[in-house]
Amino acid sequence: MKENLIPAETSRLFYLAAEQNSQPIMITDRDGRIEYVNPALEQSTGYAASELIGANPRIFQSGQTSLAFYQEMWKSLLAGQSWEGELLNRRKNGEFYTECLSISPLHAEAGQVTHFFAVKQDLSVFRNKVCKVEYLATFDPLTGLPNRGYLLASLIESIQDAAASGHELTIVHLDLDHFKSLNDSLGYAVADQVLVGIADRLRGIVRRDDVLARLTGDEFVLLLRDTVLDVHLAEALKRIQVTIAEPLMVAAGQEVSLTLSIGVAVYPWDGFDSDTLLAAANLAMVAAKKAGGDTIHYYVPEMQESMVSRFDLASQLRRVVERGELVLYYQPQVSLISGEIVGAEALVRWLHPEKGLIPPGQFIPFAEETGLILPISDWVVRTACRQMHDWRAAGLPRLKVGVNLSARHFHLASLPDTVALALSENGIEARYLELELTESAMMHDAPGAVRIMDRLKGLGVRLSLDDFGTGFSSLAYLSRFAIDLIKIDQSFIRDVTDNPINASIVTATIAMAHKLGKNIIAEGVETEAQMAFLRRHDCDEMQGYLFSRPLPASDFAALLREGKRLVFQGEEGEEQTRTLLLVDDEPMILGALERLFHREGYRVLTANSAREALELLALNRVQVIISDQRMPVMTGIEFLSRVKDLYPDTIRIVLSGYSEIETITEAINRGAIWKYFTKPWDGEKLRDEVCRAFRLAGTSDIHLS
């Protein structure tokens, strides 16, 4: 039948049949643009014809139907076949409904498809009663949002789609902050109103393809398809926060303001299945809540681990004091002048009934976070004072004992009283107790810190600044705070003998402390070389494994009884001994050099590597150094350049081949070396030059650097 031959009457009849049909009808062109909708469709979807004409039927999509479903549909239609199926759509007001859809392609005379004719059946009307149960099984009756079951089903399907397409999926867990107190104060009815209001707002900002579900109570989950973790997501989440934060009108004239804790997990990075992803988003949300709420946290794997062990830890740590599971170890502090033990630092350990001795690093930070540090800190102060008392009673010498204070404890108003009581109960003079503070403990509130320190100083106790150099504000605070002693952090000591930067920091800190009238102690001293370096640069005290590890109280007492002390070897008259250091990685050459200087009356030290040489330099006062240029790890010039920084008064000679002449000239010009000799050397000449070098080293007007 030719179009232009359709009788007008028939056309009119068909038009009326469509217009008055109780089933929704829609006609689109072959590209899917809507050309006609009947009133039943307007009524069913809530859209006016004027809004729909020219639009794409995607406007009805709920986002809950999988990509595969639509692909299947289009395959049939494009093949010129009609298609029938059931799918979930969404009305203009956001409400979901199931419809049975039947689409037929309309062919023009030439056979090609020109339009699609769709007849729909709104199953939620049709099956209203039958569906009630099904509806309740998938939707939350209060807010009309999909429920957990629904969310799970669409998450599983979305994961399949994402896996097939290689896209990402974002799961956002939203939880209202302090909703419980709102519930308690305003009552359930109002709280329900709030939830409905929040759900509406969220519904208003999520995209059509997203799934927004209510899990339980005040928890919602948003499933964002085809999203990547980027600024757009961050902006979208920010938008959610802002929207929720706007005051919400509840009962007459009553307004509430709410904030959200938001946790984010992403497929496939944070999990491959629905359970793992939901759990990850939930953990991230809990972390956001812990951080004070009104914030967004992205899932990181450590959350998993820390949640489990933290839970365990918290419940056990709560009773650690009353169960008597804490012990104090004491690490001796020794004078670098006399070599004698002058004090101890009390270091806490947790004697766990199953896990054994747990170091403080594994529970102190957590205890600080949770506030459980306060009873622990109190216990430490009291126990350290009691221990001092017991040692005295046993006839041991009176020593100062250092106790670490946590930031929280330091800012606690009752701290001075606790300290005063612990001292008086045990008959200890305040000056024997040293409280160790860290810069970070004081940084939060510097004026407050100054007041507390004044109160503590008023008691007569000594204060020390722990882990010096690891904070930010070292210099400014040093002069302002009433600190008696500075403890240089072990991170600087570790490589003080071969890292010129740390060596300079250490020497500068010592000089500065002394200028400010404070004493200085080095932490973590493990080698003779480190100790010798510190001693040479006038550091007052040290503590570290070199002398002793932290010990149980009885072992510490034994050490005192034995009179154990630091012995400084071979330094008497060393000042005057002319010492020559020979460095070469080839033992043959080293041997030859050693023989060359055999009869010269010098003390000759030899090293096979730059590292070994640096060690010897820390331990011994050396005036002249001869180093091979070609050595593995560090060349002679690199080594001597460091030595120039560490020991500028030494005279430095390099042995090398001609090929390196440029490098050597440059090193001479920089003052890193004094002379160079080519291999093989002229023995006579080398001996003469070394003799001259010692003469130069003995004079004070030589400046190589």
Measured over the CA atoms of residue 337, residue 342, residue 344 and residue 345, the dihedral's sign is negative
From candidates 42, 209, 484, 526, binder to ligand C2E by CB under 6 A: 526
Q: Which is nearer to ligand C2E, 40 or 364 (CB)?
A: 364
Q: Which is nearer to ligand C2E, 367 or 651 (CB)?
A: 367
Minimal distance in Å, beta carbon 658 to ligand C2E?
46
Shortest Cβ 588–ligand C2E spacing (Å): 37
Would you say the C-alpha torsion 680, 685, 687, 693 has a positive or negative sign? negative
- Residue 440 phi/psi, 5-degree rounding, is -65, -30
**Per-state percent for the chain, helix, strand, coil, to nearest 5:** 45, 25, 30
Nearer to Mg ion (CB atom), residue 289 or residue 349: 349
For residue 602, the tally of other CB atoms under 10 A from its CB is 18
Q: Interface with ligand C2E by CB under 6 A: which range of 100-108, 192-200, 520-528, 553-561?
A: 520-528
Which of 34, 33, 96, 92 minimizes the C-alpha distance to 62? 96
**466 makes contact with Mg ion (CB under 5 A):** yes
- Interatomic CA distance for residues 66 and 167, integer angstroms: 14
Beta bridge partners of residue 434, listed in sequence order: 402, 462
Number of residues this chain uses to bind ligand C2E (CB under 6 A): 23
Residue 175 vs 467, nearer CB to Mg ion: 467
Report in angstroms how near the CB of residue 527 gets to ligand C2E at its nearest: 9
404 binds Mg ion (CB under 5 A): yes
342 SS3 class: strand
Measured CA to CA, the distance from residue 589 to residue 122 in angstroms comes to: 97
Choice between 467 and 689, CB closer to ligand C2E: 467
Q: Which of 364, 581, 593, 651 binds ligand C2E (CB under 6 A)?
A: 364
Note if the bond before 365 is cis, omega within 30 degrees: no
Name the minimum Å distance from CB 346 to ligand C2E: 6
Of the ranges 179-187, 235-243, 398-406, 685-693, which one interacts with Mg ion (CB under 5 A)? 398-406
Interface pattern 463-492 for ligand C2E (x via CB under 6 A): ---xx----------------------x--
First-to-last alpha carbon distance for the chain, in angstroms, is 106
Helix, strand, or coil (residue 653): strand
Task: Say how many CA atoms lie within 13 Å of 604 toward its Cβ.
Answer: 18
Q: Looking at beta carbons only, is 467 or 541 nearer to Mg ion?
A: 467
If contact means CB under 5 to 8 A according to the sort of partner, which of Mg ion, ligand C2E, none does residue 380 touch?
Answer: ligand C2E
Nearer to ligand C2E, 404 or 507 (CB): 404
Could you tell me which of 272, 248, 269 has the C-alpha nearest to residue 258?
Answer: 248
Which secondary-structure segment (H or E) carries 130? helix 128-138
Considering the complex, state which of residue 434 and residue 584 has its C-beta at the smaller distance from ligand C2E: 434
CB–CB of 332/344 below 8 Å? Answer: yes
Q: Using CB under 5 A, count the residues that bind Mg ion.
A: 5
Interacting residues with ligand C2E between 531 and 560 (CB under 6 A): 543-545, 550
Q: Which does 371 bind (CB under 5 to 8 A by kind): ligand C2E, Mg ion, none?
A: none
Q: Please say which residue, 90 or 462, places its beta carbon nearer to Mg ion.
A: 462
Rounded least distance, CB 504 to ligand C2E, Å:
21
Q: Decide: is 331 part of the binding site for ligand C2E (CB under 6 A).
A: yes
Beta strands in 428-530 (DSSP E): 433-438, 462-468, 485-488, 519-522
Which residue number, 145 or 401, has a Cβ lying nearer to ligand C2E?
401
Q: Which is nearer to ligand C2E, 44 or 490 (CB)?
A: 490
* Omega before 268 within 30 of 0, i.e. cis: yes
**Binding residues for ligand C2E restricted to 579-608, rule: CB under 6 A:** none
Interface with ligand C2E, residue 361, by CB under 6 A: yes
Pick from ligand C2E, Mg ion, none: which does 147 bind, CB < 5 to 8 A by kind?
none
* CB 299, min distance to ligand C2E, A: 30
Is residue 128 within 8 Å of 34, Cβ to Cβ?
Answer: no
Q: How far apart are CA 650 and CA 644, in angstroms?
A: 7
Q: Measured from the CB atom, is 105 or 469 closer to ligand C2E? A: 469
Sheet holding 651-656, edge to edge: 603-607, 579-583, 624-628, 651-656, 675-678
Which 74-133 residues touch ligand C2E, going by CB under 6 A?
A: none
Q: Which is nearer to Mg ion, 158 or 333 (CB)?
A: 333
Question: Which C-beta is closer to ligand C2E: that of 150 or that of 363?
Answer: 363
- Amino acid at the residue 493: I
Cβ proximity to ligand C2E, 490 vs 641, nearer residue = 490
Q: Which stretch binds Mg ion (CB under 5 A): 51-59, 213-221, 411-419, 429-437?
A: 429-437
CB 442 → ligand C2E: shortest distance, Å?
A: 14
- In the complex, what is the shortest distance from the CB of residue 513 to ligand C2E, in angstroms, rounded to a whole number? 17
DSSP 54: T
**Judged by CB under 6 A, does residue 359 bind ligand C2E?**
yes
Contact positions with ligand C2E (CB under 6 A) in 421-450: 436
**Residue 42 in tokens:** 């307007």
Based on the shown chain and the rule CB under 5 A, indicate whether residue 261 belongs to the binding site for Mg ion. no
Find the helix or strand (DSSP H, E) in which 344 lies: strand 341-352
Least Å distance, CB 591 to ligand C2E, is 36
Q: For the CB of residue 348, give the shortest distance to ligand C2E in the complex, in Å.
A: 4
Cα–Cα distance measured from residue 438 to residue 387, given in angstroms and rounded to the nearest whole number: 24
Chosen from ligand C2E, Mg ion, none, partner binding at 274 (C-beta under 5 to 8 Å by type): none
CA–CA distance, 667 with 8 (Å, rounded to integer): 105
Q: Encoding tokens for residue 65? A: 């139907």
C-alpha 336/C-alpha 341 separation (Å) is: 10
524 binds, among Mg ion, ligand C2E, none (CB under 5 to 8 A by kind): ligand C2E
Q: Which of 85, 360, 471, 671 binds ligand C2E (CB under 6 A)?
A: 360
Helix axes 610-619, 528-536, angle to 10 degrees: 50
Work out what residue 360 binds among ligand C2E, Mg ion, none; the CB cut-off runs from 5 to 8 Å by kind: ligand C2E
Listed as own residue / partner, the contacts of 188-195 with beta carbons closer than 8 Å and 24 or more positions apart are 190/250, 190/251, 190/254, 192/142, 193/250, 193/251, 194/248, 194/250, 194/256, 194/258, 195/142, 195/143
Residues in touch with Mg ion (CB under 5 A): 404, 436, 466-467, 523
Residues in touch with ligand C2E (CB under 6 A): 331, 347-348, 359-361, 364, 377, 380, 404, 406, 436, 466-467, 490, 523-526, 543-545, 550
